[in-house]
Structure 1
Amino acid sequence: MRNWSGSDLKLRLTLRVAAAATLCFAVISGYFLFDSDRAVRARIAAVADIAARTLELQQNKIQWLNNPHTEFPDLDSVAASVMAPGLCLAFRSNGGEISQRFCGGAQTDTAAPPLAFAALYRRLFDPGREAVRPVMARGHAIGEAVVWVDPAVLTAEAWHDAGRLMAVLMIALPLLCALVYAALARALRPTLLIRDGLERIAAGDLAARLPPFDLAELSAIGDVFNQLAERLAAALSDRNALTQKLIVVQDEERRHLARELHDEFGQSLAAIRALAASARLTAIQDCPPLLAECDGIARTATDMMETLRGALFRLRPPDVDELGLAASLEGLIAGWNGRSRGQPRFEIVLSGSFARLPASVSANLYRIVQEALTNAAKHAGATRVVLRLEMREAPSGGDSEIALAIDDDGRPGNPQSDLQVTSGMGLLGMRERVAALGGRLSFEAGQPHGASLRVVVPVAAGAGAAPVERAA
């Protein structure tokens, strides 16, 4: 099951491109606004210069003609040539009085800007500032030529320009995002192959390899991936071979230990029982009070021999090669039911034929079942354990596989159970055996109780026969 957390890379990169594009548009809009304000300042400064020179010429003409009745100031000629919407032109005397003033009307088709934009624009640019030039006559200033633009007109024009840029942004940004997303989707398409390859490796398919890619970066990733897959496959092969050898050595040591216990410890216990029986006969005739001690020695020796038989059975199970896996497992279940006297209850369900299994598969599956039943009965405190073994025939002549399932109703929350099942050598040993067979193992602890063990082991084609179901 795939579990890819986090957001889509294409979407994330597209959003970042959109944010960068929006920022660029904002910077461009700011630049245009500043440039427009600079142009307006230059224009009103030039108008102020023209007005001041015109008024100086008028004053010089009055003085040259010596005609004090000539009208001054006369800004009609200047206003006629430079007047624009919102532009205001005036002459201000040294006393501050406005002698003459002309203002162009505002355009009626310009929409009023939002209050927030108007406040921001006025804060940044101060559109009502005046351009002032002194008017000189005979070396003295007789007044000032004053030029300014109505702030409302400048703000409306700025909003109109900004609105056009925003319209361009609204059209261009979605198109840009679509193109970027499509380009990223095409460029990142090889990452799907990389993800599939990683999923195959995670699922145990070490034959997964990546093809070469056009992009150098992705091609380097593919080369490293293929090298790691090859090395992992080699390491796993070496580990499986070593595990097989260790399992063989372990089984050999178990057989040797079982032989030593049977030959030495078993014979000693048999001798103790014989001596206890002989001492009992003597005690009957000569010392009746010793009968209880002789009987106690005999019972202790008998109990020890029963314990020894159980240990020998676990150390040296029946010969699976001779009895077969199915018969060996049925005997194992019968032995557990006999020793536990119905608590817990062990059940076995077999489906298929296991007569022609390789010896290594049969022996390892037997050991896996033996370990699992021991954990369920002794550590989890289960009252019911069900063992299911199924031979799954492969279609079209492929390899078959054996499916092993063990379910119990024990207590997985028990600390002792956790030690044995979750982190103990029992589950670790089972995993190693399954890995050596090239199979898969999974373990799930139920809530609030119960546990399930699943093992699937491949078997070479032709090892099985027609399915036959049997339950015990």
Structure 2
Amino acid sequence: MDLKWLLVRRITLVAVACFLAGSAIVLYETARAAKQQNSELAELVGRQLSLQLSRIDRSTDIPQRFPDWDIITTYSLQPGQCVELLGDKGTTLRSHCGGMDTTTSTPEWFFKAYRAFISGHLDAVLPLSYRGAASGTVVASLNPAATAAQAWATIAPLLLLSAGMIATLCLVAYFVVDRALRPAKEILSGLNRLSRGDLAYRLPPFRLREFNRISEVFNALTDELGKVTSERSEFARRLVDNQEQERRHIARELHDEIGQKLAALNALAACIRASAQRDAPALVSEARELEDMASVSMKSLRRTLTYLRPQEIDDLGLIQSLKDLIDQHNKIAHGRTQFSFETTGDVEKLRAETSAHVYRIIQEALTNASKHADARHVRVLLDQLADAEQERIRLLVVDDGAGARSSDEGPLAAGWGLIGMRERVVALSGKFAAGPLPSGGFGLHIEFPTAQEGA
């Protein structure tokens, strides 16, 4: 939940709780006053009837006049208040009630709640006796509608006032909290940019001490991450560049030494076979076998040289090497999968090591797509982008296959191929993203600057 709305909701809950507590106090005071009024009325009537019993006992009054209720009817009662004299069996001997104020209406829900929790405990009951003999029971009560109307008349203005105050408080709290938490949006934006690899972003200083401390820690963290990332990229670049240089050196040595000797061996075997056909026909089959072994060894050496360092990158350039690589995959697929390659901008001016990294990344991505994607189309896009900050290269490899890769060794995310691609991207000081696409299939997205630091 948004922090502003969370605080506003809690403030509202506290305000409502305060209103309910205030309403409970009002109801309690109203009930206590009604109880006290009933108790005073019951005592007053009880004293009056006890006085009449004493006059009867002194023969100054006759028993037939008991109870003398005419005096009781002169008492001023509260609206809805009643006083009764009950006999021994609970029968009503006499009763007197005050009038009701019908102009005040009480909501039905409030009246039901009031009757359920309060109105049953307001009656005042006073047993009447004289010289130890029971003479009845005086009961003073208030009509629940009257006491509920009295309580509602007190609470209704409080309810309207509280609603207005709560609304005003929430509105003021929302804008105050929103203004106070504006730095949090900037901090969150900085964290999002940091998660995307933008280590150049810095947070400004803030007025609040807590936010300013967060800004200082964030900036110090990005500085340290920038240094570590730069050192890691430089180390990875040197490592992978040295690996490519070593591969180039081994490829040249194999080509110059082993390749020439295998070619000489093949030619010598051909000469032996030609001579054997004239002088020793029994040796022709052995000479032909030796010639075939030399030819197979030369093909195997050529595949090894291509794996170590494709000669086309140095001779024909990166673009033509990638086109040849795409053609090879199309031939192997036999129409089951169509591989395509698109490029824009001038990507031929990349360093030799950078071109080798790009070639290896695309080679590994196409191999994974051929083995695991089960796709009908695989697209390779290599673009040169330029903006106000720097020139950069964007590489996309997208297929419409099964999406997430998996193999017997486990998911592609944990495979050596993807790890190798990621390390090459780190060496190029670039950004790497790979995973299933929302529309289906699998995508590889790489961006790196054209010129690497320290190169």
Shorter-chain TM-score: what band? Answer: 0.7 to 0.9
- Equivalent residue of 1:108, what SS? coil
Contact 2:398–2:443 (Cα < 8 Å) also in 1: yes
Residues 74 and 212 of structure 1: CA distance in aligned 2, closer, same or farther (over 3 Å): farther
Residues 225 and 100 of structure 1: CA distance in aligned 2, closer, same or farther (over 3 Å): same
Residues 69 and 351 of structure 1: CA distance in aligned 2, closer, same or farther (over 3 Å): closer
- Equivalent residue of 1:22, what SS? helix
CA distance in 1, matches of 2:84, 2:330: 118
- Alignment match of 1:50 (pick from 36, 44, 47): 44
Residues 330 and 98 of structure 1: CA distance in aligned 2, closer, same or farther (over 3 Å): closer
Moved more, 345-354 or 220-229: 345-354
Residues 445 and 18 of structure 1: CA distance in aligned 2, closer, same or farther (over 3 Å): closer
What does residue 151 of structure 1 align with?
A: 144
Contact 2:42–2:126 (Cα < 8 Å) also in 1: yes
What does residue 318 of structure 2 align with?
A: 329
Contact 2:343–2:381 (Cα < 8 Å) also in 1: yes
Matched, 1:455 2:446: yes
- Equivalent residue of 1:127, what SS? helix
- Equivalent residue of 1:209, what SS? coil
- Equivalent residue of 2:37, what SS? helix
TM-score (norm 2): 0.81
CA distance in 1, matches of 2:208, 2:305: 64
What does residue 430 of structure 1 align with?
A: 421
Deviation at 1:181, TM superposition (A): 2.0
What does residue 4 of structure 1 align with?
A: none
Deviation at 1:238, TM superposition (A): 1.6
CA distance in 2, matches of 1:421, 1:9: 39
Show the 5 A alignment for 1:220-259. Answer: 220-259=213-252
Structure 2, unmatched stretches of 5+, are none
Moved more, 160-169 or 379-388: 379-388
Moved more, 203-212 or 327-336: 327-336
CA distance in 1, matches of 2:402, 2:252: 36
Moved more, 152-161 or 34-43: 152-161
What does residue 122 of structure 1 align with?
A: 115
CA distance in 1, matches of 2:300, 2:239: 27
What does residue 214 of structure 1 align with?
A: 207
Q: Deviations over 1:19-50 (max 9, x none)?
A: 33333323332332233212211221122122
What does residue 191 of structure 2 align with?
A: 198
Contact 1:52–1:135 (Cα < 8 Å) also in 2: yes
- Alignment match of 2:306 (pick from 313, 324, 337): 313
CA distance in 2, matches of 1:91, 1:384: 101
Contact 1:408–1:452 (Cα < 8 Å) also in 2: yes
Contact 2:127–2:137 (Cα < 8 Å) also in 1: yes
Deviation at 1:133, TM superposition (A): 2.5
What is the identity, as a one-letter code, of the residue corresponding to 2:431?
R
- Equivalent residue of 2:361, what SS? helix
What does residue 391 of structure 2 align with?
A: 400
CA distance in 2, matches of 1:360, 1:106: 101
Contact 1:413–1:449 (Cα < 8 Å) also in 2: no
Residues 77 and 363 of structure 1: CA distance in aligned 2, closer, same or farther (over 3 Å): same
Contact 1:85–1:105 (Cα < 8 Å) also in 2: yes
CA distance in 1, matches of 2:138, 2:410: 98
- Equivalent residue of 2:317, what SS? helix
Moved more, 419-428 or 105-114: 419-428
What does residue 464 of structure 1 align with?
A: none
CA distance in 2, matches of 1:386, 1:95: 102
Residues 380 and 417 of structure 1: CA distance in aligned 2, closer, same or farther (over 3 Å): farther
Residues 284 and 409 of structure 1: CA distance in aligned 2, closer, same or farther (over 3 Å): farther
Deviation at 1:442, TM superposition (A): 3.4
Matched, 1:66 2:57: no
Moved more, 25-34 or 59-68: 59-68
Contact 2:381–2:397 (Cα < 8 Å) also in 1: yes
CA distance in 2, matches of 1:412, 1:232: 32
CA distance in 2, matches of 1:153, 1:380: 81
Deviation at 1:229, TM superposition (A): 1.6
What does residue 40 of structure 1 align with?
A: 34
Deviation at 1:237, TM superposition (A): 1.2
Instruction: Count how many residue pairs are aligned between Structure 1 and Structure 2.
Output: 448
What is the identity, as a one-letter code, of the residue corresponding to 1:457?
F
What does residue 27 of structure 1 align with?
A: 21
What is the identity, as a one-letter code, of the residue corresponding to 1:249?
N
CA RMSD, Structure 1 to Structure 2 (Å): 3.9
What does residue 103 of structure 2 align with?
A: 109
Contact 1:402–1:457 (Cα < 8 Å) also in 2: yes
CA distance in 2, matches of 1:310, 1:77: 127
What does residue 17 of structure 1 align with?
A: 11
Deviation at 1:348, TM superposition (A): 5.1
Contact 1:53–1:135 (Cα < 8 Å) also in 2: no
Contact 2:42–2:140 (Cα < 8 Å) also in 1: yes
- Alignment match of 2:85 (pick from 91, 96, 100): 91
Residues 341 and 78 of structure 1: CA distance in aligned 2, closer, same or farther (over 3 Å): closer
Residues 191 and 80 of structure 1: CA distance in aligned 2, closer, same or farther (over 3 Å): farther
CA distance in 2, matches of 1:177, 1:410: 53
Moved more, 448-457 or 245-254: 448-457
- Alignment match of 1:187 (pick from 180, 186, 208): 180
CA distance in 2, matches of 1:199, 1:446: 21
Moved more, 20-29 or 353-362: 353-362
Deviation at 1:111, TM superposition (A): 2.0
CA distance in 1, matches of 2:268, 2:52: 152
Deviation at 1:104, TM superposition (A): 0.5
- Equivalent residue of 2:141, what SS? strand
